[in-house]
Structure 1
Amino acid sequence: MKRAFAVLLAMTALFLTPLPAGAAGGFPAGFLWGVGVSGFQHEGHYPDSNWTRYLAQRKEKAPYRDSADFRHRYREDLERAASLGVDVFRTSVEWARIEPARGKIDWREVRYYDDLVARMVAHGMRPMLSLSHFAHPGWVHDQGAWKNARTVEDWLDFAEFVVRRYAEHDVLWVTFNEASYYILDEVRNKALRLSEAPLMSSRLVEAHRRAYDMIHRIDDDAMVTANVAYSTVLNPLFDRALLTEVPDKLDYLGLDYYLSMSAANLSVLRVFSGEYWTIEPEPDGLYHVLHDYHRRFPGLPIYIIENGASTDDGKPQADGYQRSDSLRDHAYWIHRAIQDGIDVIGYNHWSLLDGYEWGSYRPRFGLYTVNVETDPSLKRHPTEAVAAYRDLTRRNGLPPGYVPVKPPARCSLPALLSTCAALPATPPYPG
């Protein structure tokens, strides 16, 4: 028992965070506010891919339909994004769409991405482009995907095609979205045996390292990352899927944060059932997680690539906590981290629109609601968070005197010892 307790103390010490001092001032000049979508989740009309195959095989998953049809409504959706006052628009350039067969380029789809990127720039938004967001072409699936060494070469050919086409637009590049979950999804969908997960990881590491060098040959000033999703205190283990193997091949650290865990809040375990809307949010956990990554990757600026809140089919939360509350509360704790000296350079809200959450339309993350299953017109309905985000970007910060709606969590696992000893103070946001 004593040994187990000593091990627990040693683990929690890794995540020990000093209690924050009071903050002053707004967000730094040049801080990037953004919003995003992803190809498979929002575009609709998706070509043959690993995920179209999985949905054909897994009848328990909701039909894909055509999602929010971003593919044909991107012009108006980009106008919605620009009206938020954001600096960055994130999406993925889909390999399955551009190269439906090895060596065969679908130029109609290339022209779609050409216009998409050009319109982002015309609206004053910097493109953030992911080169892989869980989906790959059907022909890649047929050749064994990342179990096959050939896939590394094929993906690098695709990546170079995309980079050469859009590098002039000062793109923020993301090679692989959430590598640990990419691998996990391939295992869950029976495309990969658990014993083969290390092989896929090694191939993603090789592909990222070579892509980083390729991107910098084309554009020496490029900013490149591979974003990671924070899940639990086990993240140092999950990060080994890619992040910890490539620290010398990152220009910034991309972080996705939705949830955390504390002694009184184990609702995060419901993530395994996909009931994201039932998870009790802990916005202060982001503060502790930022400190953790800052310690583990000193010198790397951090960009929060995804953060948001889920509702159950768009219904209000039972406790009255709204998406606008979540948005402001997370911004409060980001500001506190910045005041502690952590170089946080940007924040993207996930997502602009409701989309397909890898098997279901029930979890809703959109600033704009889209009722895919019940509304053939796919009308975009603004949530209350639209006005909140506009106010945040206009001010480059929160209203003076703002205090988080959600109080700090007792015994937050990312900073267990410090938050069991005392809760972080929440002084009003300074004017």
Structure 2
Amino acid sequence: MTRSFPENFLFGAATAAYQIEGAAFEDGRTASIWDAFSREPGAVIGAENGDVACDHYHRYPQDVALMKQLGLQTYRFSTSWSRVRPDGGAVNAAGVDFYERLVDELLSADILPWLTLYHWDMPQALQEAGGWTNRDTVDRFLEYAGTMHDALGDRVNVWTTLNEPWCSSFLSYTAGEHAPGHTSIAEGLLASHHLLLAHGKTVQELRGRDASLNLGITLNHTVADPADPQNPADIDAARRVDGQFNRWFLDPIYRGSYPADIVDDIRAVDADAVARFEAAVHDGDLETISQHIDTQGVNYYHGDLVSGTAPVEGPVSAEPETERVRRSPYPSSDDIHAVERALPRTAQNWEVQPEGLTRVLQRVWAEYAEPAGTVLYMTENGAAYDDVVVVEDGETRVHDADRTEFLRLHLGAVLDAAEAGVDVRGYFYWSLFDNFEWAWGYDKRFGIVRVDYDTQERILKDSGREYARIIGDRAL
């Protein structure tokens, strides 16, 4: 049965600056936290980095042409703080010029620019002063956001403050998996608050400059289910995962408060960390954080089945096998255990659970976005699979049946949510290109376009061909 998308539904694809641009130290750009972290022993699989990546900095015209060939209506990208304000200081005109040229190229191709200000690549110099644990970083971010609006405010209407602040706080300052690689509960809490404060202040600033802008944030979400719905320990484990992953960011943005049950959970584990966090939340901060947003981006990759009891067969892991010491990203992580279930898995060992996406959209819409008058967009959804590269009739083809099926299933899940009344107005596949996948390095490929990292050749995969067909037909 053919299923059609609403007339106002946008189809796009997403990338991030550090993952694709390369040109890490060209034209005035200085080191970001990922330039530094990727050089630490054991931080990234294969000791790889984003120095060259997809070389998008030099190849953006052909990349935009490829977007147009796919029929993309919109392109979600991030700007590099280290390129625009190296070391967090003075404006770098050459860095700003790159994004002006990129946006002009997109507009000439009739592709809507969807700009994200922060996708995890803070200038390393700011990290050396404390990074997101330092309240002063909020002001530095506001300066950077203002610079970007000065340059692009006449051409870019959609502005996303942050991508996945859960990752840039708890995965980065508590788990040690992402830059800067710290393993502190207190630092994760401080970083989460200062990130949200930077979001709120940026929304205030940009709305004050131009009330017509579409302003928002992108959050990553999971759906946490108890392994045994009758077991109080499993139910509590699911509550804590949901609270620390979803509600920790949703509640302050939409309701002006952090979830009290999660604060209490963390206090029971590390009272000193919570005391530092509470001291960092100044009068007026939560009012600033809970500024109205026009758009919320929803990122979803998989759900979580969790238990309060460790599985007999041992832990389930879907994390990169790097050598660095890590801990759980959840501050209150005691007795939270992932449970394996009979679902398909990606090359990263992530479960494929499209119905979880429908549930996430329904929950975020009903409990948060709809009461606030905020519209939802699927800003990331995708999967890593192993490609099959063949030459057929003299043409290189990339077969990726699993990714093609993943794409169709999750677009169907978005339609299920829309048909149930959720105002979800677009879908961005992650990612347009194979790229530098953070601690995974270049080991996993998410793209609908294959990148040969030796030659920088771009090859449209079967999944990309299918996505182009769906966009053209506006139907599954």
User: TM-score scaled to structure 1, two decimals?
Assistant: 0.80
- Equivalenced residue count is 368
Q: Is the contact made by 1:267 and 1:279 (CA closer than 8 Å) also made in structure 2?
A: no
In the other structure, the counterpart of 1:185 is: 172
Query: Residues 314 and 225 from structure 1, CA distance in 2 versus in 1: closer, same or farther, beyond 3 angstroms?
Result: farther
Give the whole-Å Cα distance in 2 for the aligned partners of 1:167 and 1:88.
17
Letter in structure 1 aligned against 2:83: R
1:39 to 13, 17, 34: 17
CA deviation after TM superposition for structure 1 residue 241, in Å: 4.4
Letter in structure 2 aligned against 1:349: Y
| Residue 316 of structure 2 is aligned to residue 333 of structure 1 | no
Letter in structure 2 aligned against 1:30: N
In the other structure, the counterpart of 1:51 is: 34
Describe the superposition over 1:358-415 as per-residue Cα deviations: whole angstroms up to 9, x where unpaired: 131111101111132xx2x1111111011111111111121xxxxxxxxxxxxxxxxx
Give the whole-Å Cα distance in 1 for the aligned partners of 2:243 and 2:132.
23
In the other structure, the counterpart of 1:67 is: 53
Q: Is the contact made by 1:131 and 1:176 (CA closer than 8 Å) also made in structure 2?
A: yes
In the other structure, the counterpart of 1:249 is: 292
Letter in structure 1 aligned against 2:195: L
Does 1 or 2 have the higher relative contact order (CA < 8 Å, sep 6+)? 1
User: What is the DSSP-based 3-state SS (H/G/I as helix, E as strand, rest coil) of the residue aligned with 2:152?
Assistant: helix
Give the whole-Å Cα distance in 1 for the aligned partners of 2:247 and 2:81.
25
CA deviation after TM superposition for structure 1 residue 40, in Å: 0.5
CA deviation after TM superposition for structure 1 residue 298, in Å: 4.0
What is the CA RMSD across the aligned residues, in angstroms?
2.5
Q: Is the contact made by 1:255 and 1:303 (CA closer than 8 Å) also made in structure 2?
A: yes
| Residue 192 of structure 2 is aligned to residue 201 of structure 1 | yes
In the other structure, the counterpart of 1:272 is: 319
Q: Is the contact made by 1:88 and 1:128 (CA closer than 8 Å) also made in structure 2?
A: yes
Letter in structure 1 aligned against 2:242: N
Query: Residues 25 and 190 from structure 1, CA distance in 2 versus in 1: closer, same or farther, beyond 3 angstroms?
Result: closer
Percentage identity across aligned positions? 26
Q: Is the contact made by 1:35 and 1:349 (CA closer than 8 Å) also made in structure 2?
A: yes
In the other structure, the counterpart of 1:412 is: none
Describe the superposition over 1:238-258 as per-residue Cα deviations: whole angstroms up to 9, x where unpaired: 234433212243212211111
Query: Residues 163 and 191 from structure 1, CA distance in 2 versus in 1: closer, same or farther, beyond 3 angstroms?
Result: farther
1:217 to 208, 214, 217: 208
2:302 to 236, 259, 269: 259
Q: Is the contact made by 2:91 and 2:147 (CA closer than 8 Å) also made in structure 1?
A: no
Give the whole-Å Cα distance in 1 for the aligned partners of 2:347 and 2:216.
26
| Residue 465 of structure 2 is aligned to residue 361 of structure 1 | no
1:230 to 221, 227, 249: 221
Letter in structure 2 aligned against 1:340: A
CA deviation after TM superposition for structure 1 residue 232, in Å: 4.0
In the other structure, the counterpart of 2:137 is: 151
In the other structure, the counterpart of 1:390 is: 468
Give the whole-Å Cα distance in 2 for the aligned partners of 1:87 and 1:267.
45
User: What is the DSSP-based 3-state SS (H/G/I as helix, E as strand, rest coil) of the residue aligned with 1:124?
Assistant: coil
Give the whole-Å Cα distance in 2 for the aligned partners of 1:236 and 1:118.
41
Letter in structure 1 aligned against 2:14: G
Give the whole-Å Cα distance in 1 for the aligned partners of 2:406 and 2:347.
14
Give the whole-Å Cα distance in 2 for the aligned partners of 1:322 and 1:267.
28
Letter in structure 2 aligned against 1:366: G
Give the whole-Å Cα distance in 1 for the aligned partners of 2:318 and 2:367.
26
Give the whole-Å Cα distance in 1 for the aligned partners of 2:358 and 2:315.
17
Q: Is the contact made by 1:268 and 1:279 (CA closer than 8 Å) also made in structure 2?
A: no
The structure richer in strand per residue is 2
Describe the superposition over 1:111-142 as per-residue Cα deviations: whole angstroms up to 9, x where unpaired: 11110011111111111111110111121111
Query: Residues 393 and 24 from structure 1, CA distance in 2 versus in 1: closer, same or farther, beyond 3 angstroms?
Result: closer
Of residues 187-196 and 206-215 in structure 1, the stretch that sits farther from structure 2 once superposed is: 187-196
CA deviation after TM superposition for structure 1 residue 169, in Å: 2.3
Q: Is the contact made by 2:131 and 2:137 (CA closer than 8 Å) also made in structure 1?
A: yes
Q: Structure 1, unaligned stretches of length 5 or more? A: 1-22, 399-431
In the other structure, the counterpart of 2:381 is: 307
User: What is the DSSP-based 3-state SS (H/G/I as helix, E as strand, rest coil) of the residue aligned with 2:86?
Assistant: coil
Query: Residues 382 and 159 from structure 1, CA distance in 2 versus in 1: closer, same or farther, beyond 3 angstroms?
Result: same
In the other structure, the counterpart of 2:359 is: 288
Q: Is the contact made by 2:82 and 2:88 (CA closer than 8 Å) also made in structure 1?
A: no
Query: Residues 56 and 144 from structure 1, CA distance in 2 versus in 1: closer, same or farther, beyond 3 angstroms?
Result: same
In the other structure, the counterpart of 1:352 is: 432
CA deviation after TM superposition for structure 1 residue 329, in Å: 1.3
Query: Residues 177 and 364 from structure 1, CA distance in 2 versus in 1: closer, same or farther, beyond 3 angstroms?
Result: same
CA deviation after TM superposition for structure 1 residue 262, in Å: 5.4
Q: Is the contact made by 2:2 and 2:475 (CA closer than 8 Å) also made in structure 1?
A: no
Letter in structure 1 aligned against 2:293: L
Give the whole-Å Cα distance in 1 for the aligned partners of 2:112 and 2:200.
24
Query: Residues 362 and 109 from structure 1, CA distance in 2 versus in 1: closer, same or farther, beyond 3 angstroms?
Result: same
CA deviation after TM superposition for structure 1 residue 313, in Å: 6.5
Taking the TM superposition and a 5 Å limit, the aligned residue runs for 1:73-222 are: 73-183=59-169, 184-187=171-174, 188=176, 189-191=180-182, 193-222=184-213
